Amino acid sequence: MTPGGPPADGVRPARLRPAPLALALALLVAVAAAGVLTGAVGLSPAGVARELLGQMPFMRLEPGLTPLEHEILFQLRLPRVLMGAAVGGLLAIAGAGYQGVFRNPLADPYLLGAAAGAGLGATLVIVFVPVGTSYGIPLAAFAGAVGGVFLAYVLGSTTGRGGGAGTLVLAGVAVASFLSAVQSFVQQAKVEELQRIFAWIMGGLAGADWATLGMIAPYGAVSTAILLMHGRLLDVLSVGDEEATSLGLSATRVRLIVLAAASMATASAVAVSGLVGFVGIVVPHLVRRLAGGSYRIVLPLSFIVGAAFLMLADLVARTIVAPAELPLGVVTAFVGAPFFIGVLRATRRVEM
């Protein structure tokens, strides 16, 4: 089956209906507005609207905020909100992609060693590179995440019978364990840096700025586009490899492309946010429950809802104990861990 061919038998064509899309976009806009307006310095909604409209071409409006408020909006609040949207969207759509490949609702963006690789890359920079390299940690985390997934894929493809989904999962667990052990060893070389290392591992968006956002934008855009293009093919894979093969679809090629795109999305996210867990499990499962199981629906809605979810989590992280700030990973774990247990119990009941 080619990307433009007919749908598989038993796979009903599904389209993203206007109502769920409108609801998801409304949620995204509402949370983004709350994130921009909320903080130690209150900003006027009308003033923020005037400032944003004033940035549009051919729009000449009087400033709606003071110079200090303008700097807070454009140098602190807006980059952080957009970074939260990007990270949440990428983790959620990557989770949906992994779940489609492995046909398992418990599949996670960190499944194939991406988190362990990112943690090792960030640790190496923190321990061995001078503090002045502001973009060293995101770049090293990105390279480590990609390297971890690559090692897991190579190991899974060269062992076992055909390198199937189960073999890839086991390879990912092995690679993650090895890289985590290396990270622990490296940490001992400079114990005084443990606080910085653990702060990065717990996740956060405090360092968000326009340059960092621009750094991950190309990778995030490409990986998201590839995943969205493969939604219908993931629907075909969901009926089984034999049926997909009988229709001329190469299940191995589709899996490889989706795994590569999902891993790139994960690497882009963790490179700038640290390790933020459970987004890739919670959001796709919630979308699947509310809007249907077709990946033509799940993938785009997961990106939108994931963006809103992480912006909301970041808003909670920076306000609930203000002026202090909770690690972002702690907030998502409070929501994600009980949700994960619920999904696990539901999955076991289905299997029984």
| DSSP letter string, 142-163 | HHHHHHHHHHHHHHHHHSSSTT
Buried-exposed string 20-45: b where 16+ CB fall within 10 A, e elsewhere: beeebeebbeebbeebbeebeeebee
- Would you say residue 161 has pLDDT above 60? no
- Would you say residue 135 has pLDDT above 50? yes
Residue type, 131: V
pTM: 0.88
HSE of 40, CA atoms in CB hemisphere, 13 A: 9
In a domain, 44, yes or no: no
- Would you say residue 335 has pLDDT above 90? no
Whichever domain contains 201, its CATH number is: 1.10.3470.10
In a domain, 247, yes or no: yes
In a domain, 284, yes or no: no
CB 299 within 8 Å of CB 231: yes
pLDDT tens string 55-90:
887 777 777 888 899 999 999 999 999 999 999 999
Is the bond preceding residue 67 a cis peptide, omega within 30 degrees? no
So what's the pLDDT on residue 178? 93
In a domain, 121, yes or no: yes
- Would you say residue 11 has pLDDT above 80? no
Sequence-distant (6+) residues with CB within 8 A of 66 are none
If you ran DSSP here, which 8-state letter would residue 6 be given?
A: P
d(CA 205, CA 174) in angstroms, rounded, equals 30
- Would you say residue 301 has pLDDT above 50? yes
Burial class (CB in 10 A: 0-12, 13-18, 19+), 209: middle
- Would you say residue 194 has pLDDT above 70? yes
- Would you say residue 195 has pLDDT above 70? yes
User: Higher confidence at residue 204 or residue 164?
Assistant: 204
14-23: Cβ within 8 A, 24+ apart: 14/235, 14/292, 14/294, 14/296, 14/297, 15/296, 15/297, 16/296, 16/297, 16/300, 16/301, 17/291, 17/297, 20/290, 20/291, 20/297, 20/301, 21/300, 21/301, 21/304
In a domain, 191, yes or no: yes
In a domain, 175, yes or no: yes
- Would you say residue 34 has pLDDT above 90? yes
C-alpha dihedral sign at 16, 269, 99, 252 = positive
Find how far residue 97's CA is from the centre of its chain. 11
What's the number of domains the chain is made of? 1
Sequence-distant (6+) residues with CB within 8 A of 290 are 20
d(CA 172, CA 161) in angstroms, rounded, equals 16
- Would you say residue 319 has pLDDT above 70? yes
Question: Which range of residues forms the domain containing residue 143?
Answer: 94-276
In a domain, 215, yes or no: yes
Residue type, 65: L
HSE of 44, CA atoms in CB hemisphere, 13 A: 10
Angle at 293 between CA 289 and CA 294, to 5 degrees: 145
In a domain, 4, yes or no: no
Average the pLDDT over 102-121 and give the result: 84
